[in-house]
Structure 1
C-alpha cells in the first residue's frame, strides 16, 4: 500500500511539471535512497523523453525498484523432477544433466538449502535400443552433498533415458518428498524438466458417464470420461506411451449382464491436476517448469503445470544451463521482485520504432507483439529478479528497459482519448501507453502486480488546407468543382533531408468541409521546411494564381520545426489558396433543319469542326442529331485561356472557324450556302490581373433544307375484243382518265387516250409531294353499233411516300366496283381490264336454180314444178 501511495504522489508531481501552453516536460527519474523504501516494497517509474533534434519521437524508460526482504535466513528445499523418457536420449539428456548440475552447484551456495532428485519415465522392460526403466524413482533425497557416490551430481549423471512420459508420477513423487518435510522449512520448491507430452498417467477413480442411446452392446457402448479431481488408482497405469489421450474398451459385470464401456483419459489433465495439488501444498508460486524441444501442446501443458510466470521453454538444449541459472537466482534471491513479466501496451496512435533496440541492459528479455484486435502493439518484458544496486544503497535494486516510440496516423482517430485537454488546441497531451502492468512474485513468495503511470506527450501535427476561389476571390462551391480534382503540395526539408518521410507530396481536395485541414503525423526532424504547390490532377497550374499562408503569415512558404525550452512548437498550419484566373470560352452552334415530312423516321446527323488556336491540329469535332425538322444547338467544350496567353499584352484577339462537314452529304439535303463561319475571341486583363474574354458571335447558325426528288407514275390498262376475226387494231377504242376520290366520284377530266393493240397508257403523272391520290378510268363509248362497249369503271389509288433517302416513291392499286357485294364496295383488281364484243349487221341471200323441160312442145308453164330446200351440213 505504501508503494501505491508514493506512486500517486509521483503522478501528482509530474502533473505539476507543465509549462504555459500545457506542454509537458519529461521528469527525471529520482532513485530511492536508503530508508525511503520499506523492505519488500516496490516502486515503478515511467518517463517519455523527447529525442534530441526530433519531434513526435520519444525515448520511453521503464524502471522498477525494490528493497530486498529483511529477516532471518530462510530454509529452502528444492526437488528437481527430471524427465528421463526415451525421447530425452542424446543431446537433450546430456545438456539437461550438465545444466542440472550447474543449478545444484549454484543453489547450494545458500547454506540453508538442500536438493533432492526425482526422475520419471514409465515402467519398461527394455529392448535392443532402450534399456529397462522404472516408472518413477527418488534418485537422491534432500542433501547438500554435491559430489561423491552419495552426491547430487552422481544421481544426475546416473539418469538413463528410456520409456514413456508419466509426468503425473514425477510430480506426485516430488510432492511426496516435499510434503514429508517438517513445517519449519520456509520454502518448498519443485523444478520440473520435460521434453514432451505426458503419455502415461494413473487411471482416474471417478468418471463422467454418458450412457449409450438404446441397448448397450459391444458396438454401442457407454462412454466414460475421466474426472481429474486428485483421486486415481495408483496401481493402474494407462496411456499409449506415444499420445496425450487414450480411449480403450472394457467390459464390466458377468455374463449375460455384461456392461460395455469405452474409457477416455487425458494424461495432460492428470499431470495438471497433480501440479495443482502440489502448488496448493508447497505454495502457489513455487513450481517451476522447463519445456525443452516440446511442441506447442506440450509447452502449453507445462505452462499450466507451472506457477504464474514460472514456465520456461526452449528448443535449444544448450540454453538449459541459462534457464536453470535464472531459476537458481530466483530461488536464492531476497529480491522484492522475482519472476517478473511486464506487459507494456502502446497508446492509441503510438508505435515502437523498431530501428532502435529495445534495451533491458542485461535485465531479462523482451518480445514485441504486433497489434491484435483492439490491443495495440505490446512489449513483453520478462526478468527473473532485481539485481543491480541503486548507487548509494546496499539493498535497493532496480531493472530498466528503454525503447523508442513515434506517433502514427491513428492518433488522429476521432475517438482517441486525450491525456489532457489544453486551452491551446495545438498542445493537447496524449498518453504514450494504454496500460503497463508488471506481474511478479513478491518477497513473501506471493503473486503480486504493479502498474506504471503512462507519460503524456505533446505531438506536433502538420495541418495543410487547400482553398479554391473564383477570380473574384469567392470560394467555389463543392458542386461546381470537378470531381476528383486535387492539388499536389510538396513539403520538403530545406537542409539535412529526411529520407523516411520528406520530401512528401500531399494530394489536397479543395474547399474540404470545415475545418478543411489535412493532418499529417510524419514530422520527425527539426529544421526548416518549405511548401510548394507542384501540380494539379486536371488542367494546369497556370490556370491559377497561387498564394501561401504559413503559421498565419501571408506569403510564408517555409516553417521551422523545433523545440523552445524543451517544449515542442505548436502545430503547423499551412494554407495554399488558388484563385482560378482563367477565361473559359465556349463557342455555340445552332442548326435548323426543315423539309423533312412528318412521317419521316430518318435520323440525320450533321457534323461540325472547330479549328483555331489552343486546339488540336485537326480541330474539335461535334455532331447534332435530328429526328425530323427543328432547331437544335450545342456548344463546343470550353477553351481555357490564362494570362500567359496574353503574352504580356492587356488585350489580344484569337480567331476560330466553325465548319459544317458536308464531305458525305445526306441525300435530299441542301446545305447552308455558307459552310464556314469565323468567330473572334478577344482576351483582356484588368488592372487587378483578372482576365476575361468576349466572343463574337457567341453562336453561329446553319440552315439545311430537305426536299425529296419527285416521281412519275404511268397509269393504264388492257383491252380485249371478242367475236371478231380481225385483230384488234390501234386507235379503235378510247379510254378516259378522271381525278377522283376514295369513293370513286368522277372529278375533273385528265386525259383521253386510245389503245395501242391490247393496251392503253395515259401520259405520265408527276408527283412532288407525299400523299394519296385517286383517279377513275373509263372506256369511251365510240357509238359504233357493231361493238358492245365495256361500262366498267376502275378506281386507281396512288400512294406517294418519301423514302427518307431524298426520293419519292409511288405505290399504285386498281379497284373495281362490286355491286354484288354486301354492301357493294370497291374491291382490288390486278389491272384495269376492259373487254368488248363484236356483232356485224345481218345480210339477205337468195338461193334458186333453173328448170328445163324437154320433149314437150308446150312451153314450161309457171307452177308446174316444185322444189324443196333443206338445211344440211
Structure 2
C-alpha cells in the first residue's frame, strides 16, 4: 500500500514538471538573450499571410523592472504657500492635500515593486520638519504623510542637505545588490532662505585679484550675488528669514573688494552685495551630485535628483525663479512643471524611471535597399511613443525614428510593427547572400538613458528574409528547332492581371537575356503568362514554368499557399519558326557548243541537285540538250521544267554532270523568262559564269532559268576519242524535298 502511494506521488511530480516545461515552451521567443539590468530588444520579420515578398517587421523592447533595491528621499515643501486652494479631480482643495494624495499613491506603488525599496521623507519650510527615516513599510510612511502640516517660509537648501546626510548613512548594498539612491524635490515656490557660505570671501565681489561673485550691472547700480559654485556652507547659520529670493549683504563695499576695471567702467554706480538663495540652493545640489558614498568612493552618492514645481503660474513674476532653481537642482538639467492636478501622473513617470531599465529611448531603424515601406508609419503603428519617417539622402530609403518617452510606471513592454515589401533593388550586388537571404533593415540602434542617467546603446539583430524571384526568359528557334541566339527581334510578354503586376509588361530579346522580377504576389492565386505576337507573326509557342511545359500563347503559374513552400519561378517562353512549304520552279537546259563530228552529241543533260549546300547531292535531274544558241531561236520549249516543293530549304545547288570528252564552258542564270531571247546565249560574257555549281536562292525568288554550256575537249595527245560510255542515274521529281 505504501509503495502504491509513493508511485502516485512520483507520477504527480512528473506530470507537474511536464506541464511546467510545456508552459515554458509557449513563452514568447526573442532574438536576444536577457542580460541583467539591460533592456531586452528583439526584431522579427513575419511573412504576411497570403502574400509573397511581404513581411510584417516588429520591434520589441522590454524594459523590465530593475532587479535591485532603490532608495528615495522625498524632499517636500510644507511652507505656508502650500495652503493655497487648487482644483483636484474637479473638487476644491489645497495644494498640500494634492501633494499628500500624490506622494501617498507613489509610496504605495513604489514600495510594492521591490521588497528592498525604501522611502524617506524630508519636509521643509523655513526649517526642517519631522523626518521620516528610510522605511519599507507602506503603513508607516503613509501614516507619516497624513500628519504633515504646513508652516513657514521656503528653505529648499536645508531639505537637500538633510537628504544628503540621510543617503550618506545608508548601506551601498542590500542582499548583495547595489542600491540606487535618488532624491525627489517637490516645491511650489522660490527659495527665500539659504545657508551662509563657509568661506566669507564668497560674499565679497573681488578678493586677491579674483572675482568671487556674480555681477548684474547698470550705469547707476552694480549688484553682486553669491555664486552657484560655492563649495561649502555653514549649515548652522541661515541667510534670510523669508521674503525675496535675494538678501542684501552690504551696500558699503570697500574699494579693495571691487574690481578696479569694473569701478572704472561704472564710475557713477553704487555697489552692493546680496545673498542669492537660488544660487545657494543650486550649489547645494551640485555638492550632492559631486559627492561619493562614504563606503565606496567609486559610487556616486545620488543617481538622480528629480525636481517638481507645482503651479508655477501662481508665482507671477517670480515664476522664472522657480524654473531657474528647480532646473539647476535636477540631475537632467530640466524639471517637471505641473499643476496640482498633474502631480500624481508625474510621480508615476518618475517611479517608472526609478524602477525601469531606461527612462527614455530612441530607436533608429533604416529600411534596407531592396525593400519598400508599405503605407504611412505613424504613432498608430506603435504601442507607445512617437514615430516619424524621414528619407536618407544617400540611400533614398526611408528611416524610422521611434521615441519612447513620457512613459508610465506600468509600461514595461513596447512594440512597433510595420510592413515591408521586397522590390527590384533587392537584386543589387551583395544584397542577397549565398543562402538566398536579404536583411530587411540597416543597422538598427537602440539608444537609451538608464536609471542612473547613463546614455547607452545597443543594436537590434536585423532579421533576414528570402525574396522570391520570378525569372523570365525568351527563346527563339528556327524551323528545325535550333536556337537563334543573337536575334534582335523583340517579343511582348505580360505577367498577371492584378494590382501587383500592372508594370509586368516586358519586351524580350531572344539573346540569352533573363529578366528577374521581384515584387509582392498573392499566394495560391493563378497568375497568367501571356505572349502577344504582332500582326502577321506565326510561331509554334510553348511556355515552360519550372520545367512544366504547355503549348500556346497563355499559361498559368501560382505560388504555394504558405511561406515555407514558396519557390522561385523560372519561366521560358519559346517561339519556333513554323515550317512552311514553298512551291518553286526550276527551268534547265544544256547547250552543246562547237560540236565534234567524232563525238556523240548528247541529246540529254544530266544535273545533280543539292539543298542548302549539302556535301552530297540529294537528287539527279535529266534535262534536254540542244545545239540551239542563237538568240532569236531560244524558246521556253528548249528548257526542262521542274516544279519543286520546299519546306526548310531555301538554297539549291545545281551542277552539270559533264559527259566524257566534254568540258563545262559556263552557265547563265536569269529569274525572268522574258530575257531568254536576249541573254541565254554563250556570247554574253557579262552573264556567263564559269563555275562548277549554280547557287539558287529561293528565299526571295520563285523561279529560275538556267542554261549550261558544254563543249568538246580532247587531251593534246588525242586526235580521236577513245571508246567511252555514259551512265547516269535519275530520280523522280515533284515530291517534297
TM-score normalised by structure 2 residue count: 0.44
In terms of fraction of residues, the more helix-rich structure is 2
Higher relative contact order by CA 8 Å / sep ≥ 6: 1 or 2?
2
TM-score normalised by structure 1 residue count: 0.39
Rg (Cα) greater in structure = 1
In terms of fraction of residues, the more strand-rich structure is 1
